[in-house]
A and B are shown apart, each in its own frame.
Chain A
Amino acid sequence: MEFALTDEQVMIADTVRAFFAENATSERTRAAMEGVGIDRDLWAAFAGELGLAGIGIPEGFGGAGLGMVELAVVAEAAGAQVAALPLLGHAMLAQALVRGGAQAQKEQWLPRLAAGEVIATVSWNAAFEVNDGAVSGTIAHLPHGAIAEVLLLHAAGQVWLVDLAGEGVRRTAHVTMDQTRPLATVTLDAAPAEMLENGAAAIDGLQAAGWICLAAEALGGAQASLGRTVEYAKERVQFGRPIGSFQAYKHRLADMMVEIEQARSAVYWAACAVDEEAGEAALALHAAKAFCAETYRMCAGNMVQLHGGIGFTWEHDAHIFFKRARSIATLYGDSQWHREQVAHLVMGDPA
């Protein structure tokens, strides 16, 4: 029975937690929110000094090897600080290539991804047309889409890579509720595109990476929401007592912990299942995305409520967590959709 982080994984976790706590500060995240939603210095240090952009990329392509458990460890720590990083699209593109790219495609892209040189964005349910290797369509709701260099499109078992610096690309950046992951619409008019060799495998890879990344970010964010609220509950005094001594207050914090512990099991169950190619991987991924997103929403919402008026201000960080929780819940399939996938897996389709 080894369903616990190994010593090496604990070391990675300690390193990334310390890195994000020191560098992904509220000030720097807020500066990124005023700009394009990415702290480029943070990303450069993450990829360069720590070499963590190479997680999940084979060493033969300049990566660090490792797998989804390590990706989850990293995303959890990033999520705990709501770090303004392009990790999500990066992980999805990397896994699409690792699983479904041709050798030449891997050689072209993976070393650059491992070095953190590429910012990617990935569509969900996009409608587009392909004619002679050129893509046309309006692709909405792309995270970091305004500054991404590469767009990954998928439909009907095929995956296409579009160079967003190329011709036939028009972008519209949107003021977005979660400013750490602003959305854009990209309009493609016969933009040159490259198809990945094995579309089905690439889709499996990008979905697994995306859902694990989001679920783990949600876990980290939920845990941080709880931790910060617990600290506040011990300090803030009303009616002559710390407010954390009141049952009406502490029971909500206890409920958060109950959900978070399950969310932790969900993230690492899904990550292990993908790494071990277990038969229950699909179930685990849908379960993890739905459960962790809902846990984060509950915890971030409680964080606002339990801080009282200060929790509603722009100055306090609660809203940054609250908005990230919202955007995670909606991205790449909402919780209802994921639960329906679980229902399909356990009870089939109704006659």
Chain B
Amino acid sequence: MKLGFSKADEAFRSECAAWLQAQMAGPFADIRGIPNLVSEIERRREWEQELAAHKWSCIGWPEQWGGRGATLAQQVIFAEEYARAGAPGRINHIGVELAGPTILAFGTEEQKARFLPGIAAGTAIWCQGYSEPNAGSDLANVRSKARLEGDEWVVNGQKVWTSLAHFSDWIFVIARSQEGSKGPKGLTFLMMEMDQPGIEVRPIRQMNGEAEFNETFLTDARCPVDSLIGTPGDGWRVAMGLLAFERGVSTLAQQMGFRNELDGIIAAARANGKDRDPVIRQRVAEAEIGLRLMRYGALRMLSKADHSAIDGAALTYKIQWATWRRNLGELAMDVLGQDGEIAPGAEYEWPMLPNLFLFSRSDTIYGGTNQIQRNLIAERGLGLPKEPRGDL
């Protein structure tokens, strides 16, 4: 058991750190450290393409498809250095981390050739169409319908909480293709182009004033028949395989962002004297400990993945970081005091720490609420019996 990385891995770290820092100090200095995923979209498309031009856009993918076939350790290192350099959040993270790996795992060779190059090149931005007004925690309760019409799939329904849909080029959806089917059976996984008359996107303004999420209306939205991944009715298996990718390497990059936020809180406490408050000091220590344990938890999980399957412990990661970050938001406001409740300008726009306080309230909801996470941990991790299902 070791904490560190091998010499070869550290050499790789130096290589990617040097490139990333040069970009962030030079041509892309203007988008360094942007906290959200919704501003400077055109510049960030250029950034995605610059990453691709140097083969840094999807390093974990096979070389054949534009990746580097990087090991898990190298992916971890790149993620850490990416965040350390202050590179902006990846607007195509859904394409690179979800759509691409799903196509690699479940797609045909033709589909790989059709979709992967655009993702790798940073020219095709993707979003995910899962949740619906009546399919949130109970995701399998999807009601959007897909039917075959000639050589096209035609989809009708409404998706919600579609992150980044307002500038995405592609969306993958699950829709019900078998009339009268219920739950996870009868769902189909389709990849659809966003730029068509049948898809309308309406941004949802969030409690922090920003609009990262959207409602996506599908009205006779169309895609060619071979845009289906897997087989008709088999979409749930594909979608769940994809959710497993969500708990990947990106967690390490996310933690570097958390580091930045905690450092901001410590700096604020030093500036306003709250660093003398013994209760604040206890809470800062708790936050520091939690952040470190997140890193070593992720390394432990990924070290195992090098050798064997990810085990039940990986189930605990989502609720752990989400709850930690929500607490961090509370700590931020307790350190800032009333100054934190005043926006710096004339708009309802917040600097990093007050925005953290507001935004982190979504962390414990999206991607499976804390309550759903506890069900998963208890039922899959601990083998406890399921709660009987209702039939309303």
Is B55's beta carbon under 8 Å from chain A?
no
Residue of A nearest to B379 (CB): A250
**Is the CB–CB distance between B1 and A5 below 8 Å?**
yes
- From B3, B278, B285, name the one whose CB has the most chain A CB atoms within 10 angstroms: B285
- In the complex, what's the smallest C-beta–C-beta distance from A63 to chain B, in angstroms? 20
Q: A250-B379, A254-B373 are in contact. Are A265 and B384 (CB under 8 A)?
A: no
**Is the CB–CB distance between A4 and B385 below 8 Å?**
no
Q: A247-B387, A350-B276 are in contact. Are A339 and B286 (CB under 8 A)?
A: yes
Q: A272-B1, A340-B278, A350-B276 are in contact. Are A250 and B375 (CB under 8 A)?
A: yes
Q: Which of B72, B282, B290 contacts A343 (CB 8 A)?
A: B282
Q: Which of B3, B293, B384 contacts A262 (CB 8 A)?
A: B293
Residue of B nearest to A280 (CB): B292
**Is the CB–CB distance between A1 and B306 below 8 Å?**
yes
- From A9, A258, A290, name the one whose CB has the most chain B CB atoms within 10 angstroms: A258
**Is the CB–CB distance between B285 and A346 below 8 Å?**
yes
**Is the CB–CB distance between A9 and B1 below 8 Å?**
yes
Is A314's beta carbon under 8 Å from chain B?
no
Is B2's beta carbon under 8 Å from chain A?
yes
Q: List, in ascending order, chain B residues with CB within 8 A of A262's CB.
A: 290, 293-294, 297, 320
Q: List, in ascending order, chain A residues with CB within 8 A of B281's CB.
A: 339-340, 343, 347
Q: List, in ascending order, chain B residues with CB within 8 A of A2's CB.
A: 1-2, 303
Report the separation of the CA atoms of residues A157 and B98 in the bound assembly, to the nearest whole angstrom.
Answer: 55
- In the complex, what's the smallest C-beta–C-beta distance from A263 to chain B, in angstroms? 8
Report the separation of the CA atoms of residues A255 and B297 in the bound assembly, to the nearest whole angstrom.
Answer: 16
Is B94's beta carbon under 8 Å from chain A?
no
Q: List, in ascending order, chain A residues with CB within 8 A of B276's CB.
A: 350
Is B388's beta carbon under 8 Å from chain A?
yes
Residue of B nearest to A271 (CB): B1
**Is the CB–CB distance between A254 and B303 below 8 Å?**
no
- In the complex, what's the smallest C-beta–C-beta distance from A158 to chain B, in angstroms? 29
Give A328-346 interface residues, CB cut-off 8 Å to B.
Answer: 336, 339-340, 342-343, 346
Q: List, in ascending order, chain B residues with CB within 8 A of A9's CB.
A: 1
Is B284's beta carbon under 8 Å from chain A?
yes
Is B204's beta carbon under 8 Å from chain A?
no
Is A287's beta carbon under 8 Å from chain B?
yes
- In the complex, what's the smallest C-beta–C-beta distance from A305 to chain B, in angstroms? 16
Q: How big is chain A's contact interface, by range? A: 35 or more
Report the separation of the CA atoms of residues A297 and B384 in the bound assembly, to the nearest whole angstrom.
Answer: 23
**Is the CB–CB distance between B300 and A265 below 8 Å?**
yes
Digitize A1-12: 1 where CB-to-B-CB distance is under 8 Å, 0 elsewhere. 111111001000
Q: List, in ascending order, chain B residues with CB within 8 A of A254's CB.
A: 319, 373-375, 377-378, 381-382
Residue of A nearest to B75 (CB): A1
Is B246's beta carbon under 8 Å from chain A?
no
Digitize B165-202: 1 where CB-to-A-CB distance is under 8 Å, 0 elsewhere. 00000000000000000000000000000000000000
Report the separation of the CA atoms of residues A284 and B288 in the bound assembly, to the nearest whole angstrom.
Answer: 11
**Is the CB–CB distance between A343 and B3 below 8 Å?**
no
**Is the CB–CB distance between A276 and B4 below 8 Å?**
yes
**Is the CB–CB distance between B3 and A272 below 8 Å?**
yes
Is B296's beta carbon under 8 Å from chain A?
yes
Report the separation of the CA atoms of residues A232 and B226 in the bound assembly, to the nearest whole angstrom.
Answer: 51
Q: Which of A3, A69, A278, A339 contacts B299 (CB 8 A)?
A: A3
Is A269's beta carbon under 8 Å from chain B?
yes
**Is the CB–CB distance between A268 and B300 below 8 Å?**
yes
Is B142's beta carbon under 8 Å from chain A?
no
**Is the CB–CB distance between B296 and A343 below 8 Å?**
no
**Is the CB–CB distance between B304 and A4 below 8 Å?**
yes
Q: B interface, by DSSP: helix, strand, loop or mixed?
A: helix
- In the complex, what's the smallest C-beta–C-beta distance from A116 to chain B, in angstroms? 25
- From B270, B299, B319, B382, name the one whose CB has the most chain A CB atoms within 10 angstroms: B382
**Is the CB–CB distance between A278 and B300 below 8 Å?**
no
Is B7's beta carbon under 8 Å from chain A?
no
Is B275's beta carbon under 8 Å from chain A?
yes
Is A169's beta carbon under 8 Å from chain B?
no
Q: List, in ascending order, chain B residues with CB within 8 A of A40's CB.
A: none
Report the separation of the CA atoms of residues A24 and B316 in the bound assembly, to the nearest whole angstrom.
Answer: 30
Give A259-287 interface residues, CB cut-off 8 Å to B.
Answer: 261-262, 264-266, 268-269, 271-273, 276, 278, 280, 283-284, 287
Is B307's beta carbon under 8 Å from chain A?
yes
Is B266's beta carbon under 8 Å from chain A?
yes
**Is the CB–CB distance between A253 and B378 below 8 Å?**
yes
Q: List, in ascending order, chain B residues with CB within 8 A of A43's CB.
A: none
**Is the CB–CB distance between A261 and B297 below 8 Å?**
yes
Report the separation of the CA atoms of residues A244 and B307 in the bound assembly, to the nearest whole angstrom.
Answer: 33
Is B99's beta carbon under 8 Å from chain A?
no
Report the separation of the CA atoms of residues A265 and B302 in the bound assembly, to the nearest whole angstrom.
Answer: 13
Is A16's beta carbon under 8 Å from chain B?
no
Q: A276-B2, A276-B4, A347-B284 are in contact. Are A269 and B296 (CB under 8 A)?
A: yes
Digitize B215-253: 1 where CB-to-A-CB distance is under 8 Å, 0 elsewhere. 000000000000000000000000000000000000000
Chain B contacts to A: CB under 8 angstroms: 1-5, 9, 72-73, 76, 266, 269-270, 273, 275-276, 278, 281-282, 284-286, 288-290, 292-294, 296-297, 299-300, 302-304, 306-307, 312-313, 316, 319-320, 371, 373-375, 377-379, 381-388
| 24 CB-based A-B contacts, threshold 8 Å | A1-B73, A1-B306, A3-B2, A3-B299, A3-B303, A234-B385, A241-B388, A244-B384, A247-B375, A250-B382, A251-B375, A253-B382, A257-B312, A257-B377, A257-B381, A261-B320, A265-B300, A266-B293, A269-B293, A271-B1, A276-B3, A339-B286, A343-B285, A346-B285
Chain A contacts to B: CB under 8 angstroms: 1-6, 9, 69, 226, 230, 233-234, 241-242, 244-247, 250-251, 253-255, 257-258, 261-262, 264-266, 268-269, 271-273, 276, 278, 280, 283-284, 287, 290-291, 336, 339-340, 342-343, 346-348, 350
Besides A268-B1, A276-B3, 15 other CB < 8 A contacts?
A4-B1, A4-B307, A242-B384, A244-B385, A245-B388, A258-B319, A258-B377, A262-B293, A268-B296, A291-B293, A339-B285, A340-B282, A343-B284, A346-B284, A350-B276
